[in-house]
């Protein structure tokens, strides 16, 4: 009886498989790209000091950090837009002097939402004692809206490709059967294009260029299987 049930189940599965019809389809990929001039930046910098006495080194570093934080507040950067990222104090051995050294450091990041403040802020930070600038990353305040538009552009690009392919076959593109998002982790790529931030020169009273903002490119990619009509 069990063998008969197994045979009937197998026959039923075979019949169902034969009844599945292959739907004529076309598979294409589409890409959406949007370029935009950044209007924000993430500035990462640090204060570092070294010496023979751990207490003195830490004290000196803290005093400079205090000045740095006052500079940030003077430029009216909201409290939510800057923070300490790392604080360290460690001992190293100087093989030349055969003595121990202590190094204190503190890293801070600022989300600068007004690039017009960049020059003045950076000059004041350095004057306050910042001696390590790690990175300046440009961003757009409209990144979510731009990513959404890039996805729509990728869909339209895929559909246009499909229509181009089937037009010579006297067929039409039907509904989408499957859609796959192929976008990698989307870190906007800088597209360098000089955009000067002007500041008054203390020496000659002339404008100078200290920041090349350029453009960032937002890209998305999709794969779509369309039904053929």
Which domain CATH number covers 167?
3.30.110.170
Both 88 and 119 in one domain: the answer is: yes
Q: Which residue, of 105, 139, 173, is where some domain finishes? A: 139
Per-position pLDDT tens, the chain of length 229: 545 444 445 455 554 545 557 889 999 999 999 999 999 999 999 999 999 999 999 999 999 999 999 999 999 999 999 999 999 999 988 888 888 999 999 999 999 999 999 999 999 999 999 999 999 999 999 999 999 999 999 999 999 999 999 999 889 999 999 999 998 865 554 443 333 333 343 444 445 566 788 889 999 999 999 999 9
Structural domain including 135 reads 40-139
CB atoms < 10 A from the CB of 136, how many? 16
Answer yes or no: is 3 within a domain. no
Return the DSSP state at 97. T
Sign of the CA dihedral with 191 first, then 135, 43, and 123 last: negative
Closest listed residue to residue 220, CA positions, set 189, 193, 183? 183
Answer yes or no: is 9 within a domain. no
Answer yes or no: is 10 within a domain. no
Answer yes or no: is 147 within a domain. yes
pTM: 0.72
For position 56, which CATH number holds? 3.30.70.2970
Domain count, the chain: 2
């Amino acid at each position: 009886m069990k063998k008969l049930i197994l045979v009937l189940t197998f026959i039923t599965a075979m019949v169902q498989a034969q009844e599945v019809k292959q739907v004529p389809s076309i598979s294409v990929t589409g890409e959406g790209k949007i370029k935009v001039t950044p209007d924000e930046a993430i500035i990462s910098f640090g204060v570092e000091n070294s010496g023979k006495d751990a207490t003195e080194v830490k004290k000196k570093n803290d005093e400079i950090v205090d000045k740095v934080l006052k500079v940030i507040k003077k430029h009216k950067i909201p409290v939510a837009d800057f923070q300490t990222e790392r604080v360290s104090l460690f001992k190293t051995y100087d093989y030349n002097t055969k003595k121990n050294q202590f190094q204190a450091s503190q890293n801070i990041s600022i989300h600068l939402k007004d690039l017009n403040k960049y020059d003045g802020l950076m000059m004041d930070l350095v004057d306050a004692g910042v001696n390590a600038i790690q990175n300046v990353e440009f961003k757009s305040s409209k990144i979510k809206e731009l990513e959404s538009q890039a996805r729509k552009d990728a869909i339209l690009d895929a559909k246009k490709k499909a229509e181009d392919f089937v037009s010579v076959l006297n067929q039409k593109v039907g509904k989408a059967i499957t859609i796959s998002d192929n976008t990698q982790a989307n870190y906007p790529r800088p597209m360098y294009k000089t955009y000067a931030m002007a500041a008054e020169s203390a020496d000659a009273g002339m404008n100078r260029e200290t920041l090349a903002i350029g453009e960032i490119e937002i890209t998305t990619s999709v794969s779509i299987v369309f039904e053929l009509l």
